[in-house]
Each structure stands twice: as C-alpha cells, then as structure tokens.
A and B are shown apart, each in its own frame.
Chain A
C-alpha cells in the first residue's frame, strides 16, 4: 500500500516485461549495498585513524608561544631608606639611606641581632635562623647586600641572596608554584605580576605571622555544634 511503485500496474510500461524491471532493481540494490559497505569501511578506518591520532598527540595544537605578554616581578626600586625622628615642612618623615649613618660607624661583627644594639634599630624583631646582621648586610657598603661568598648584591636582586639557603623555594618559584601571582594564566592574552621573597616574607622574621581569619559562612553545614545539637535533640 505504501510502496505502490513496486506493485505491477496494468498500464505500467515496465510491467509488460517484469523480468527486465526486477533485474534492474536488483542491480540498483546491489550497487547501493556495495556503496554502503564501502562507506562504512571508510568511516571505520577514519575513526581508527582519529583514535590513533588522539592517542599519539597528548595535547592538542596550542597557539604559538610568541608575542607573550610580560611577567613583571615586583622588585624593590632600590636600597631601602630609614625614617628619622625629623619631619620636613610638609610633616612627612625625613628619610635617609643606610649609608648616611653607616659610612661613619664602624661595624661591630659581634652584634648578632637588634637586641645587641644600643642606639638604632631598637625593637626590630629578628628571628631568622642563626644568621647575624652581617650575614646579609654588606659592611663595605650598607646600601647593598652581600652573598655568602662576600660578593655584593643589590637590594633589587634580593632573590639571589635568599636563594642561597632557600633553593627548593626558588626552584618552585621558577616553576610558578611558589609566591602567588596576579593577572593572567594565559600569557597570550595578558600579562602577570609576581612577588619577590620580601613582598610576602619580612626578611628579619620570615615566618608567616598568625592572622585573624575572615568571618566564617553562616550556613548549617559549617556549624558542627549546631549540627550536633539538632541530631542530639532527635535522640537517634
């Protein structure tokens, strides 16, 4: 009923020689079948190729790593300056460089921390292993620092100094795993700023201090006491 063209009609020209029409139909069906098989085979082969391709190349093609935005490290601009007790005419403290005093003061190699001093740097908290002032400060030029092998190093390059002892942290920093960052994970779309050691760690007391946390959320899951009270009242 739904395929009337297959039913021989008396006025159909082809029906006068049904053998010829049926053999023609069979030929068409066989050709279509062959095409379908061939198509299937090609499809399977392509799928296999694709599977091989994905297995081989672990990651897809990424945009070329050219024209990357810069990673800026927040280095200190130069040697630090110390506040004096004086103020200028605008009421701002007068700053002096370290060498202002230290060029005329003879360094005392026996001073181990600020507690040993009787004039300046009073109240400076110091807790950094067994290091002394002159482990890092350069007695030859107080506007610079010194490495363990007595080489001079600028304040801006403080990471070189810290890395002498803190190698694993430096290694992780180079890999982007230590010290945090701001900006873009995708350097093809924007830049990034990174810290140096002293942006997070006070070089004299490098251990991260205790802080008060941000207030906790006020939801039911995070309040164990309230949870215990409700389960207790229902007497399981």
Chain B
C-alpha cells in the first residue's frame, strides 16, 4: 500500500479507515465476550483457584502440590477430617490385570463393602465401584443378573459375578468424553480428573459394564470414617456432579499393595497382578485357567478376566 495516497472518502462520508477501525473494535469485543463466557458458569461454591485450575496433565509438579494441599484443606473444612492427598504415578514395566474365580465367589458383597470404605463413597447411597450380580446357572448375560438380592448366599441354583471397571484397552468411556476429563494411564488404569469433569454422563452411557458412577449429591461421610490415605486420581472425596469409577485402588496398587476388594474377599476368588511379569499370579491365571471376558464381542479388550475352576 502506498502511504502517500490521500484517504479515499466513501459516498456516506465514513472513511475506509474508520470503517475498518469499527469492524476491528467489534471483533475485539466479541472475542472478549467469548473469553469471559466461562465466568457465567461460576457458582458460589467454586473457589477462584478451583475455577482457574488447569487439566491434570497440564499441571506442573509445583502446581499439583499446591492443588493437593488446597484439596486437603477443603476436605478439612467440609468434612472435618485430616487427610493426606498424594499423586501416585504409574510404575514403568507394570500393566495391571485382575481375574475373578466364579467357582468360589459366594456373592457376600464383602468386596463391595471394602470398596465403599476404601474409596470414600457416599454413605447414604451405600455406593461402591463393584456390583455383584446374582446369575442363574446356564447364562453369562450380566444384563439378566440381579444385583439387589438380599438373602443368604450362595443359593443352590445361582452363581455370583462381581462386575467393576474392566480397565479396557479400548475404553469407550474415554473416547466419548467431550472434555478429555478421563483417560487411560500407562499402567492401564482409566482415571478421571474430578476437577475437569463436567458431569455430562456420556461415559456412564458408553460403558457396557455399568462401571461408572455419578455423584448426584455431595458425598456424605462421617469424619471418622474417611479413609485418610487418598490420591488425586482415585479415592479423594469427589465433588458433587462428577463421574467416578474403579481405579484398581491405584493409591494402593501403585505402591505395590493389593486392592482393597481382593484383601476383603473371604474366599480368595480374586487374583491381581502385573500382566507384564510372566511370574505374576495374574499371568498364572491366564496360562493355566480357561479365562473369558465379559461382552468380548464388543472388542474393548478388557483387563479383567473371569474363570471357573476346572
């Protein structure tokens, strides 16, 4: 553009420069309005730090430490419990697998109770990440199972099938999440950033194992019942309106311990371990038992296996 040329006047008397300025100002105002739009979703129970918190994967070590201390403080304020919230990373060379012996499971729901206590679930709904289905012998269709039985177990013509998150290699819950608040970690665990989740429940609908739970209300737990050994991605007390799921107790298993549901099982039906270690118990199951996975035809590649004693 030649700057020496005099400004050309339009027929309306508004110069081209003025028109462009006006257009630019309008664009700027629109961009600003869009940028501050999330503020309209700011509710009273959301702190500034919480509102501005980034996605888990974008947090630096220091950011995360500040957030963990803040969450500990909030738990103290809201529940009156002194807790320790840590962030445990996946161990290299480890991929977790779980197997369950349906021949010996008696359906006592001790695993679900252990999960309820370990993972700081809402007390009134008696929720846990494990649903034990009472199944008629001759069928493996979990949709026909009854998870609400309340009579002495085991019944003669029934078998019992606990179902929890299968930590699929192709998790449909992850692909449907519109905000990437859930993802699969290096050790195979599918986790949720509870502070990034928007509570749309797409993942709940996508999971064929009904493994995801929604926090309809703020979890109610007495202070003396809160498990103080918590981690950011697993059993810290979840906020209202977010999804949650089984993490194979990653706050325990990433420290080498067995999951709470396994330790609670009175019949020893559960086998847990590292799928990449050929000597692990879980690999013994895969090598020596006739295992099957639920809804195999969906091709989700679960890391949770069932077997019967032969």
Contact = CB atoms under 8 A, between A and B. Distances in A.
Nearest to B160: A213
B229 interface: no
Contacts of B278: 58-59
A171 to B, nearest CB: 8
A223 B101 CA distance: 25
Nearest to A181: B258
A188 interface: yes
B256 A190 contact: yes
Contacts of A93: none
A185 B272 contact: yes
B161 to A, nearest CB: 13
A213 B150 contact: yes
B268 A216 contact: no
Nearest to A187: B256
- Of the listed residues A177, A200, A215, the one surrounded by the most CB atoms of chain B closer than 10 A to its CB is A177
Interface size bucket, A side? 35 or more
A180 B267 CA distance: 7
A177 B285 contact: yes
A77 interface: no
B255 A59 contact: no
Given A176-B281, A178-B268, A180-B262, A218 B124 contact: yes
A183 B258 contact: yes
A214 B108 contact: yes
A54 to B, nearest CB: 12
A210 interface: yes
Contact of B270 (A180, A183, A211, A213): A180
B266 A217 contact: no
Contacts of A63: 93
A215 B268 contact: no
B276 A185 contact: no
B154 interface: yes
A195 B268 CA distance: 10
A175 B283 CA distance: 10
Nearest to A193: B263
By DSSP majority rule, is chain A's interface helix, strand, loop, or mixed?
Answer: loop
B236 interface: no
B284 A214 contact: no
Interface stretch (B18-26, B68-76, B125-133, B295-303): B125-133
A51 interface: no
B257 A190 contact: yes
A211 B147 CA distance: 16
B250 to A, nearest CB: 12
A36 to B, nearest CB: 32
Contacts of A211: 106, 108, 152-153
Contacts of A221: 131, 147, 210
Interface in B123-179: 124-128, 131-132, 146-154
A63 B153 CA distance: 43
Interface residues of B, number: 57
Nearest to A190: B256
Contact of A200 (B128, B150, B267): B267
B276 A62 contact: yes
B93 A60 contact: yes
B3 interface: no
A212 interface: yes
B284 A185 contact: no
A184 B263 CA distance: 10
Contacts of A217: 112, 125-128, 131, 147
A224 interface: yes
Given A60-B92, A210-B153, A217-B127, A177 B101 contact: yes
Interface string B98-134: 0001001011111011000000000011111001100
Given A179-B268, A217-B125, A212 B284 contact: no
Interface string A32-67: 000000000000000000000000001111110100
Contact of A185 (B104, B106, B150, B256): B256
Given A168-B309, A177-B101, A186 B110 contact: no
B86 interface: no
Interface in A187-210: 188-190, 195, 200, 208, 210
A224 B148 contact: yes
Given A208-B104, A215-B150, 6 more contacts: A177-B271, A184-B256, A185-B272, A210-B154, A211-B108, A223-B148
13 contacts: A60-B93, A62-B276, A62-B277, A177-B281, A177-B288, A181-B268, A185-B273, A186-B256, A200-B267, A214-B108, A216-B150, A217-B147, A218-B125
Interface of B: 92-93, 101, 104, 106-110, 112-113, 124-128, 131-132, 146-154, 210, 213, 253, 255-258, 262-263, 265-274, 276-281, 284-285, 288-289, 309
